[in-house]
Amino acid sequence: MSSILADQAHRRRIGLLMGIAVASVMLWQTSIGSLLLYPFTILATWFHEMGHGVAAMLTGSSFERLLIFPDGSGVAQSMVPADASGLTNALIAASGPLGPAIAGSLLIIASRTDKATRAALAVVGLALFISTIIWVRTLTGWLVLPALGIAILALAWRGTAAQQRFGIQFLGVQACISVWQQFGYLFSAGGSIGGELHRSDTSAIADALPLPYWFWGAAISAVIVFLLWRSFAVAFRR
């Protein structure tokens, strides 16, 4: 009987988290929704741009700065060698949408144990502070990111086990869906960031590899959905 009740509770939690994910993506497509979700809009941008920046460093380039603008858009500025291979450029571009999804999946999986949950919350909170000090160069980032870091660290320090578990699962889902903050971005050639026209990540991938940007948008979306599904399967496995 207890195992049946546990399974039912797990299904309800997964349904709640997926409902929040769908609602967030839908609200982000509206002006009032973007305003209501503003802190999470900035958080989504941070996840996305940090994916680019970390990938740049891992491939031997330098991560120079992270700019987050008042409208919620952002850009990670890196110094990539002129002779960098197409594969390197594609990897850096793809890490914006895929890096946060991988990190988010690990956060969800961390919710299996109380100790891992607290550690994951502390890592995210500290990462917000450290990245702000090292890379962020805009007022919006300086104001919002440390505030989010304080809230997450407070949850890790003072929250109940249930609150911490839900918090890390919520953050994991937000990381996974961060690329859909602007849903059409993956399926477009580019858009406005900070008032300037920039190529989309999928367009950058298409420049470096075969197949058009819309194919890469669909492929990335499929991978993110798979990562979410697998992370839930692992996190809620008895």
Q: At what angle do helices 161-177 and 213-235 cross, to 10 degrees?
A: 160
Can you name the residues that pair with 68 across neighbouring β-strands?
A: 74
Compare 190 and 124 and report the one with higher pLDDT: 124
The pLDDT of residue 191 = 66
Among 156-165, 187-196, 204-213, the range scoring the smallest mean pLDDT is 187-196
Residue 122 confidence (pLDDT)? 97
Contacts of residue 124, Cβ cutoff 8 Å, sequence gap at least 6 = 107, 149, 152, 168, 171
Confidence of residue 193 (pLDDT cuts 50, 70, 90): low
Residue (of 124, 226, 101) closest to 173 by Cα position? 101
Query: What would the pLDDT profile of 143-176 be if each residue is shown by its tens digit?
Result: 999 999 999 999 999 999 999 999 999 999 999 9
| Mean pLDDT confidence for 132-149 | 96
**Contact between 63 and 76 (Cβ < 8 Å):** yes
Q: What is the pTM of this model?
A: 0.89
Question: Token pair for residue 151?
Answer: 């809230």
Closest CA to 124 of 26, 50, 31, 16: 50
Per-residue model confidence (pLDDT) at position 194: 63
DSSP sequence for 16-60: HHHHHHHHHHHHHTSHHHHHHTHHHHHHHHHHHHHHHHHHHHHTT
Q: What is the pLDDT of residue 192?
A: 63
Task: Select the more confidently predicted residue: 51 or 32.
Answer: 51
Contact 79, 61 (CB under 8 A): yes
Mean per-residue pLDDT for 222-227? Answer: 94
79: alpha, beta or left? (left if phi > 0; alpha if psi -120 to 50): beta
Tell me the per-residue pLDDT of 38-72, one tens digit each, with 9 for 90 and over. Answer: 999 999 899 999 999 999 999 999 999 999 999 88
Percent of the chain with pLDDT over 90: 67
Percentage of the chain lying above the pLDDT 70 cut = 93
- Tell me the two tokens of residue 200: 């989309």
**Structure-model confidence comparison of residues 178 and 9, the more confident one:** 178
Q: What is the predicted pLDDT for the residue at 137? A: 95
Sign of the four-CA dihedral 54, 59, 64, 67:
negative
